[in-house]
């Protein structure tokens, strides 16, 4: 990961941690053909906290040093597109159910090509 991207990721992690995001994990995918160069996963405490973390990141766009291009939200799972960074904030139940970490680990290890059909 280049220094600029590392700084952006560190800022996001710091903001999530500041507002009680839990089990924050960062995946450097800059060497893969994935749609983002980095993915950040974080647990929320509950459904309302998921949406509160989204609002907090939207309010702190300048600290992120990144424009929020878009987001998709539900009470259990929010995905935020920051161009070269994707942020997933979800309740622990959703994170366990969808096991995104496994997909991202396989992608990073080259076991899965993001352009192949599932």
If one compares 83 and 17, the residue with the highest pLDDT of the two is 17
For residue range 44-101, what is the model confidence (pLDDT) as tens digits?
Answer: 999 999 999 999 999 998 777 778 899 999 889 999 999 899 999 999 999 999 989 8
- The Cα–Cα gap between 84 and 45 comes to 26
Give the per-residue pLDDT at 55.
Answer: 93
For residue range 24-50, what is the model confidence (pLDDT) as tens digits?
Answer: 999 999 988 889 999 999 999 999 999
Q: Which value, to the nearest 10 degrees, does the dihedral of the CA atoms of residues 40, 73, 47, 93 take? A: -60
Give the per-residue pLDDT at 117.
Answer: 52
Average pLDDT of the residues in 6-21: 95
> Per-domain residue ranges for the chain?
3-108
Q: CATH second-level architecture of 3-108? A: 2-Layer Sandwich (3.30)
């Amino acid at each position: 990961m280049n220094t600029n991207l590392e700084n952006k990721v560190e800022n996001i992690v710091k903001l999530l941690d500041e507002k009680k995001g839990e089990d924050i994990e960062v995946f450097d995918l800059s060497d893969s053909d994935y749609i983002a160069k980095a993915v950040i996963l974080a647990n929320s405490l509950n459904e309302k906290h998921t949406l509160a973390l989204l609002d907090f990141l939207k309010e702190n766009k300048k600290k992120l040093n990144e424009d929020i291009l878009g987001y998709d939200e539900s009470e259990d799972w929010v995905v935020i597109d920051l161009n070269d960074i994707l942020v997933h904030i979800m309740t622990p139940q959703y994170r366990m159910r969808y096991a995104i970490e496994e997909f991202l680990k396989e992608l990073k290890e080259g076991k899965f090509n993001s352009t192949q059909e599932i």
